[in-house]
Amino acid sequence: MREIGIGVLGFGTVGAGVVEGLFKNGDLIAGRSGIFPVVKKIADLDVQSDRGISLPADILTTDAAAVIADEEVDIVVELVGGTAIAKDLTELALRLGKPVVTANKALLADHGAELYALADERDTGIYYEAAVGGGIPVLRAQREGLIGNQIESIFGILNGTCNYILTRMEREGLPFDDVLADAQALGYAETPPDLDIDGIDTAHKAVLLASMAYGAAVPMEACPTSGIRGLSKVDIANADELGYRIKLLAIIKRHAGSVELSVEAALVPKAAMIGSVNDSFNAVFMKGDIVDDTMYYGRGAGRLPTGSAVISDIMEAAADVLHEAGSPIGITMMREHASLTYLSADEVQKRCYLRLTLADEPGAMAQVMNVLGEHSINVASVIQKELHPNGAVPVVVLTEQAREADFCGAIETISSLAICKAEPIRMRLEDFEDESR
Ligand code: HSE
């Protein structure tokens, strides 16, 4: 039996989950791998708070640099979060030739290319399974299981906090802010939670998936991003009535000569598998040209699920260290060895849900339909009920596929009409005609 020394930087929610997992299942892991992972040191600014784990004496310190330099530490686990100190500490470890395991998607999405270059130069690696999909081993499935495939599309529900909020708003009719507070208490949310609800956390994960899929460091600017802030209960109820649910989706599609990327709230059919992914669960639907459709599902956030993914990386890094494997080629696909062309947001073809508030007068609906027709937008269905509060008529339109630029033009014109009584609401609709999703 060989031992491997672990230094943990950051003893917050995920750090505590990793240590708890290693203490609980260390023997099991050692039995399976022949390598015993020993936590040698843990660094955190807070060395007083009780995390509910009994630790050996002198293991906790405030000095992260000393943990990295400690001769007994073979693998550095970065769980500090953020992109400033975390980047310095990651670079320090890599310069010493020590592999870094991280759950930090923001760090890799913003600085992945340079960190990978540094890891390569020092013949070591960065391992980041926990950065995408929490406890779901989706990156491992992608880079190993699907290595023989051209990835045609990826649809992801990648943020546990948003999915938890959307699920409870729909089921219980609760206001956004109350559910967000619960998600924070459960340890799902980022600090600050704006990263979750504005879609940025999902975009970080989307660019990591796209980078892995297409072998290039995909920049955040390539991923138009919006979140669920300000989402109205009215739209959740309308979607429900029409047989849909609203989900925050990461969308990655390969087109001839370009890649389409976005993060946005979208209506998905309740009957589709993706529509059944609720609470803090995440799911990734990946289609390869050889394998066809695949799906990965599990807890996307939280202390132990994320800890599980970190532990899997610790053991992969441990095997690489003990076998002197150096820079793990399978993981370092974020290096810029290919440049990609991204589909312009204007050219994206999509279906949409529109909620309009029209004046209660003859010809109002006709004016809207004319504008949609002039912008080549074909209407799939229209719902208008007899209830007309304050002389205004709520109208819900589902469209067929049209260009984003045409939707933008149509909405701008509709907004300027005198019969338009409130800012139109528009959301993408993904109908997943392919029943496997
Ligand atoms: N804040 C993230 C989420 C944590 O809610 O999914 C996992 O990345």
Report the separation in Å between the CA atom of 196 and the middle of ligand 1, taken as the mean of its atom positions: 7
Question: Quick one: CA dihedral 263, 203, 310, 179, positive or negative?
Answer: negative
How many other β-carbons are positioned within 10 Å of the β-carbon of residue 422?
Answer: 12
The pair of three-digit structure tokens given for residue 73, joined into one six-digit string:
């530490």
Select from 129, 168, 188, 228 the residue to mutate for testing ligand 1; criterion: most ligand atoms less than 8 Å from CB.
188
Pick the catalytic residue: 205, 247, 253, 350?
A: 205
**Ligand 1 centroid vs 72 CA: distance in angstroms?**
31
- CB 14 less than 6 A from any atom of ligand 1: no
Residue type, 189: A
Distance 279 CA to ligand 1 centre (A): 12
Q: What are the structural domains of the chain?
A: 2-135+303-335 (3.40.50.720), 138-299 (3.30.360.10), 345-435 (3.30.70.260)
Cα 130 to Cα 8, 342, 353: the distances in Å are 15, 26, 34
Signed CA dihedral, 236, 238, 241, 242: sign only: negative
**Residue 188: CB within 6 Å of ligand 1?**
yes
The pLDDT, as a whole number, for residue 436 is 52
- Backbone phi, then psi, for 63, in 5-degree steps? -100, 90
pLDDT tens for 323-379 read 888 877 655 555 555 678 999 999 999 999 999 999 999 999 999 999 999 999 999
Task: For the beta carbon of residue 222, count every other beta carbon within 10 angstroms.
Answer: 19
Mean pLDDT of 46-68: 94
Burial class (CB in 10 A: 0-12, 13-18, 19+), 20: middle
pLDDT score, position 331: 58
Q: Does 205 participate in catalysis according to the annotation?
A: yes
Establish whether residue 10 lines the binding site of ligand 1, counting it when its CB lies within 6 angstroms of any ligand atom: no
111-152 residue pLDDT tens: 988 998 899 899 999 999 999 999 999 999 998 899 889 999
**pLDDT tens-digit series, residues 299-330:** 988 899 999 999 999 999 999 999 888 877 65
CA separation, residue 422 to residues 68, 289, 358, 403 (Å): 57, 44, 8, 23
CA of 194 to the centre of ligand 1 (A): 11
The torsion angles phi and psi of 125, rounded to 5 degrees, stand at: -140, 165
* pTM exceeding 0.75: yes
300 close to ligand 1 (CB < 6 Angstrom): yes
Distance 302 CA to ligand 1 centre (A): 7
104 within ligand 1 shell (Cβ under 6 A): no
Among 132, 196, 281, residue to substitute to test ligand 1 (most atoms within 8 Å of Cβ): 196
With a 6 Å cutoff on the Cβ, whether 81 touches ligand 1 is no
Residue-wise pLDDT for 254-305, tens only, equals 999 899 999 999 999 999 999 999 999 999 999 999 999 999 999 988 899 9
How many angstroms is it from 105 CA to the middle of ligand 1?
10
Q: Is 160 in the pocket of ligand 1 (CB under 6 A)?
A: yes
Whether 129 lines ligand 1, by a CB cut-off of 6 Å, is: no
Residue in the block written with tokens 């310190």: 61
Atom of ligand 1 nearest to the CA of 188: 5
- Mutation test of ligand 1: which of 102, 107, 159, 304 has the most ligand atoms closer than 8 Å to its C-beta? 159
The alpha carbon of 373 and the centre of ligand 1 are apart by a number of angstroms equal to: 41
